[in-house]
């Protein structure tokens, strides 16, 4: 028995936490439903009012029936106005589903609907013994509005207390009074049970959806990270070879359509093997990352920088003539020479040889042609002593 109550307390505590997590979502759903169902219920009440008015006008009613007809007309009119006002208030809270007021509105709508149904039932006792209106209202309220189990229990308990008292003032037959009270108790019990089951179902679905949304967000982040990793060099953060070539081909096509020039810089660090041999590969990695940062900060946001592999880098300069490209190349070369890499307690010097090739839109050259010329120019730069910029003379360039 002790274990049973312990498990019961744990379940109650867990449910309490879960209910708090979905409270705002439930309130938002309630407000959305009130905006839809409020006018619908008000319309139904309007039809009742119209029917009772027509009945009073077309027929000569006896005193008890006339009173019954008038009371129901006023009751349905009041309920219709109440539901219309609740719907209007829900529309005013369209962007505010947190806090006490939106939750109180949903609770007030259920309580008000139950009270009106009790009033209708107590009036009906003059001509009929049924409590169908109360039954329908209890079940529909449970279906439409999500209430936390404790709040629902208080509402239905309060509704039954009012129902118990109200029909005592209108039902004179003691046996029928007892039957209606027992039926009302069953109706309130079913209403609360249905409300509880639907709340738990909503809680489970909402938490599962939240979990799925979280997993989906994490999956999208991982997918974006994977896409980034497949497009970028893992060490330097520059474009990798495949991505650079793909983007360069698109840029060359665009340049040909727009009639603009394009330049490519091929950069190779001088004597990089000595860095790894002297200070180790971690130092070499630090140099590569430092060089990548210097290159990126030396070019425009519209330019592209990539790492071809090892100590070789490449830069695409859209809308740039060969002469302008030479100036940018000299700027990069000078910065690399003047800015050694800080690593541990030392500063590692480095220089770079740069080969340049350029094209105009009229030439319609592809990436492979430009890359080949830049590579030949880079070879010449190394032959002539390194740490320099050499520009290709064009497709017919030779190193002799």
> Are 295 and 369 within one domain?
yes
> Are 213 and 245 within one domain?
no
Q: List residues bridging with 353 in a β-sheet.
A: 268
Residue span of the structural domain in which 31 resides: 2-217
The predicted-structure confidence for 142-175, as pLDDT tens digits, reads as follows 999 999 999 999 999 999 999 999 988 888 888 8
> Are 161 and 283 within one domain?
no
> Are 87 and 123 within one domain?
yes
The predicted-structure confidence for 343-362, as pLDDT tens digits, reads as follows 988 999 999 999 999 998 88
Sheet holding 352-359, edge to edge: 304-309, 312-318, 262-269, 352-359, 389-391
pTM over 0.75: no
CA dist., res. 84 & res. 45, Å (int): 10
The predicted-structure confidence for 236-256, as pLDDT tens digits, reads as follows 999 999 899 999 999 999 998
> Are 279 and 384 within one domain?
yes
Q: 321 to each of 55, 317, 341, how far by Cα in Å? A: 92, 9, 31
Examine residue 115 and state whether it is found in any structural domain, yes or no: yes
Length of the chain: 400
> Are 188 and 262 within one domain?
no
> Are 140 and 251 within one domain?
no
> Are 212 and 300 within one domain?
no
Number of domains the chain contains: 2
The predicted-structure confidence for 248-293, as pLDDT tens digits, reads as follows 999 999 998 888 999 999 999 999 999 999 999 999 999 999 999 9
> Are 260 and 349 within one domain?
yes
Examine residue 336 and state whether it is found in any structural domain, yes or no: yes
**Residues 6 or more apart whose Cβ sits within 8 Å of residue 384:** 390
Examine residue 236 and state whether it is found in any structural domain, yes or no: no
CA dist., res. 34 & res. 37, Å (int): 5
């Amino acid at each position: 028995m002790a274990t049973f109550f312990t498990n019961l307390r744990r379940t109650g505590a867990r449910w309490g936490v879960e209910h708090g997590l979905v409270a705002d979502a439930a309130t938002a759903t309630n407000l959305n439903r009130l905006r839809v169902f409020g006018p619908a219920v008000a319309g139904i009440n309007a039809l009742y009012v119209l029917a009772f008015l027509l009945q009073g006008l077309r027929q000569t009613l006896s005193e008890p029936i006339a009173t019954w007809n008038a009371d129901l007309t006023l009751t349905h009119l009041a309920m219709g106005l109440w539901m219309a006002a609740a719907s209007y208030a829900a529309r005013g809270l369209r962007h505010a589903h947190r806090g006490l007021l939106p939750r109180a509105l949903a609770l007030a709508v259920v309580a008000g609907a139950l009270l009106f149904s009790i009033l209708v039932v107590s009036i009906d006792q003059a001509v009929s013994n049924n409590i169908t209106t109360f039954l329908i209202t209890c079940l529909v309220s449970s279906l439409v509005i999500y209430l936390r189990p404790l709040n629902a229990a208080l509402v239905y308990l309060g509704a039954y207390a009012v129902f118990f008292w109200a029909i005592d003032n209108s039902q004179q037959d003691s046996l029928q009074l007892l039957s209606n009270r027992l039926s009302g108790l069953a109706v309130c019990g079913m209403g609360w049970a249905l409300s509880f089951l639907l709340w738990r179902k909503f809680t489970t679905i909402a938490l599962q959806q939240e979990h799925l949304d979280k997993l989906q967000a994490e999956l999208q982040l991982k997918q974006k990270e994977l896409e980034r990793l497949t497009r970028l060099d893992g060490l330097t953060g520059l474009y990798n070879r495949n991505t650079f070539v793909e983007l360069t081909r698109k840029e060359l096509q665009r340049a040909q359509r727009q009639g603009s020039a394009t330049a490519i810089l091929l950069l190779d660090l001088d004597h990089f093997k000595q860095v790894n041999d002297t200070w180790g590969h971690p130092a070499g990695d630090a140099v590569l990352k430092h060089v990548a940062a210097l290159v990126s900060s030396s070019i425009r946001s519209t330019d592209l920088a990539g790492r071809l592999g090892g100590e070789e880098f490449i830069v695409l300069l859209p809308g740039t003539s060969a002469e302008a490209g030479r100036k940018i190349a000299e700027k990069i070369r000078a910065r690399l020479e003047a800015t050694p890499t800080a690593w541990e307690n030392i500063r590692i010097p480095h220089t770079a040889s740069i080969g340049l090739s350029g094209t105009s839109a009229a030439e319609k050259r592809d990436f492979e042609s430009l890359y080949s010329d830049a590579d030949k120019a880079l070879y010449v730069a190394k032959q002539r002593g390194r740490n320099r910029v050499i520009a290709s003379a064009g497709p017919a360039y030779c190193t002799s």
